[in-house]
A and B are shown apart, each in its own frame.
Chain A
Amino acid sequence: MHAALTPPYEWRELVRQLDEVGSMSLPLVAIAGAAIGAVLAMEARSSLSRFGAKSMLPSAIVYSVVMEMGPIITGLVVSGRVGAGIGAELASMKVTEQIDAIEASAINPFRFLAATRILACILMLPLLTLAADATGVFAGWLTQTIVEPVSLRQFINSGFNGATFNTFLPPTFKTTVFGLIVGLIACFQGMRTRGGAEGVGRAATSSVVLSSLFVILADVVLVKFILVFFP
């Protein structure tokens, strides 16, 4: 924390990490979001038809994607791609003494390596979540329109009917906590690696497994928090 909050700030490295976490994860997150939107549309259509509530389909898709599926899918995709990437990168740097070299150069490795990566994860997760939400809703519309043509405008108006900022903002910003979890775990696993190539593999694996698990567990707590404070 001290390293992250005190100067000198590593702006160049932060920008590089924002690019790594954000733009490199965007295609994967967008595709995952689209897949979820399509699946939701197919499943929800089938279920809602049974109860004669097909007209609720746009709202069902939008609310499901924005309030839960978008954030959790983004968190899990990023914990896989970014968690493994950061864990392996820092582990590799650890076993090849690059982190020692940074420290020997009178540069705080926690400030330069860990704080920048953690902050990048925290800042980029909400933006990636918005991208997943957008592709999820779009794919949901596309799936629906193939079966029963409806204009995108009509779908969105119907879907967002009655929604307020409280609908979107808390679920989107809960992903900052996901970002903190992914960044912290991956940096911790990477920077304490021992044991050569085997250690690097272990660090990457444990980064993914632990960050995915803690993202899911955190989601339980955060959903409860949101329901209480943003009813």
Chain B
Amino acid sequence: MANKQDEIESGGGAVVLAVENVYKSFDGRKVLNGISLGVNRAETLAVLGRSGTGKSVLLRLIIGLTKPDSGSVRIHGQDISSLTLDQLGDVRKKMGFLFQHAALYDSLTVGENVAFPLDHHRREMARSEKSDRVRQLLAEVGMERDAGKMPSDISGGMQKRVGLARALALEPEILLLDEPTAGLDPISSGEIDELVLKLQREHQMASIVVTHDLHSAKTIANRLALLDKGNVVIEGTFEDLQQSNIGFVQEFLKQA
């Protein structure tokens, strides 16, 4: 464990996000059992595992929607659990979060959804400038013609694209993606993967992608971490996973 933390801290100072020895239980059931992970700037880490292994809980801990039972989550070295609500808000403005089902606000149009973070955190922005920015974000995700539609009028894949655009509105340094391809057909999944790759190349963000889709993880991630029973079983490149002789890893690769 100490080695893992040293590894995180010694990442040349480029570690943007660090999860250190985090434990989390719900109703007595241990979901995360001493997880430690680190993500550098312009790097994508895919967190893999079976359903119910705490992958989404990990993202919720990072964004501060849930607090760990013990351990810490550090953003640029700052432990977020010790922050006030206002300070946590400042940290959240540097992060973009794509929820598993996009979580678009269903009383707002597609364009209004993307403008939502700008309306609240860029109040000094002129209306025309805001409209241009929304148009640009929607164009980046291929949804520029759908700004006036309601979330209920578009497909799941399109909702994820809009969710991505909204997550990028404040030009975040860290991007968190919760099962970006879940529930999508293979073609739509591939399109989302290509989109995420393109955005990462252009925006150079540190990203964590939680997924059970191994193909997607291979496509978009620099490193992969495989969780089981609340622990990180292995962390490394896809080749590292392939060469591992840990039984669970081989079983996961075979079934995926």
Contacts and interface: CB of A to CB of B under 8 A. Distances in A.
A98 interface: yes
A101 interface: yes
Interface residues of B, number: 24
B23 interface: no
B85 A105 contact: no
A12 B100 CA distance: 28
B120 A107 contact: yes
Interface in A1-33: 8, 12
A96 B92 contact: no
B101 A96 contact: yes
Contact of B105 (A8, A12, A101, A103): A101
B25 to A, nearest CB: 18
Interface in A102-130: 102-108
B138 interface: no
Interface in B74-110: 85, 88-90, 92-93, 95, 97, 99-101, 103-106
B99 A105 contact: no
Nearest to B169: A105
Given A96-B101, A97-B99, A106 B90 contact: yes
A105 B65 contact: no
Nearest to A92: B106
A102 B105 CA distance: 9
B63 interface: yes
B65 A98 contact: no
Q: From DSSP, what is the main secondary structure of chain A's interface residues?
A: helix
Contacts of A12: 119
A12 B88 CA distance: 24
A104 B92 contact: yes
A97 to B, nearest CB: 4
A43 interface: no
Nearest to A108: B85
In the complex, which range does the number of interface residues on chain A fall in? 10 to 19
B116 interface: yes
B121 interface: yes
A105 B92 contact: yes
Nearest to A105: B117
Interface centre among A98, A100, A105 (most CB of B within 10 A): A105
B101 A97 contact: yes
Contacts of B103: 96-98, 100-101
Given A96-B103, A97-B103, A104 B120 contact: no
Contact of A105 (B60, B101, B120): B120
Interface in A85-105: 92-93, 96-98, 100-105
Given A98-B106, A100-B65, A101-B105, A106 B92 contact: yes
A101 B106 contact: no
A106 B89 contact: yes
A104 B63 contact: yes
Nearest to A104: B97
Contact of B121 (A96, A106, A108): A106
10 contacts: A93-B105, A98-B106, A100-B60, A100-B65, A101-B104, A104-B92, A104-B99, A105-B92, A105-B117, A108-B85
Interface of A: 8, 12, 92-93, 96-98, 100-108
Interface of B: 60, 63, 65, 85, 88-90, 92-93, 95, 97, 99-101, 103-106, 116-117, 119-121, 123
Given A100-B60, A107-B89, 13 more contacts: A8-B123, A12-B119, A97-B99, A97-B101, A98-B104, A101-B97, A104-B63, A104-B92, A104-B97, A104-B99, A105-B116, A105-B117, A106-B121
Nearest 4 A-B pairs (CB), nearest first?
A106-B92, A101-B103, A106-B89, A97-B103
